[in-house]
A = this chain, B = another copy of it.
Amino acid sequence: MPEIKLQHILTIVELLSKGARHNFVEVTTTELGKNIGRSQQAASKHLLDLENSGYIERAKKGQKFAVKVTDKGYSEIQGLFSSLRAALESTPAAIDFEGKVVSGMGEGAYYMSLEGYRKQFKEKLGYEPYAGTLNIRLIDQIFMNARRELGKQPSIFINGFSDGTRTYGWVKCYRAVINDGRVNNAAVLVLERTHYDDSMLEVISPESIKQATGMKNGDRVKVQVQLA
């Protein structure tokens, strides 16, 4: 939480990029104003304020000023930088879903049984999934929104194929954890051609998830998708 005023950030960053960390650099308020998208007067005020706060030093150089950022000013910006990095990196790369177990239409089992998919699952996911998907009905609009955006994330990509009779679409897989770790090696599927809307999540796993966890239709379930 920087104690520097927000308006001054652009100014001090501009000074730093001009090399004012270690040297006094000559800047005019007109030029500075243009670079930060403000007026000459605003730039002048910024420099005055920054000087009074001890964030910069100034020295008269003829008619102009030469400006240098002080240690205090520099560490202020570095603090802000750290906050930003923390906010951007601490981002837990996971998407959480909650829903209720529902019975599928038996389609999952059929698709999982196709050799064209099984081969690729084994190769790219590391296991051959149990012949059947766990279907989860999402219980809130926010999860459906997230579900809709899931396909944008980098995925384990299973190619579509043709068996001579018909073609089968691609499948994007996302590694996932069920109920806070009860099942760790599941995967959520995003299908090119799905029969469900955004409120449904299809999950596979090496074993039957229902058996492994003892959950039954109607039970509440949490799914956490891990992003790369």
Query: Which residues in A have some Cβ–Cβ distance to B below 8 Å?
Result: 1, 6-7, 9-10, 13-14, 16-17, 19, 21-24, 37, 57, 59, 61, 66, 68, 71, 77-78, 80-81, 83-88, 90-96, 140-142, 145-146, 152, 227
Contact = CB atoms under 8 A, between A and B. Distances in A.
Contacts of A66: 142
Contact of A87 (B77, B83, B94): B77
A16 B87 contact: yes
Contact of A37 (B1, B7, B91, B142): B1
A140 B68 CA distance: 14
A36 B141 CA distance: 28
Nearest to A142: B24
Contacts of A6: 6-7, 9-10
A86 B23 contact: no
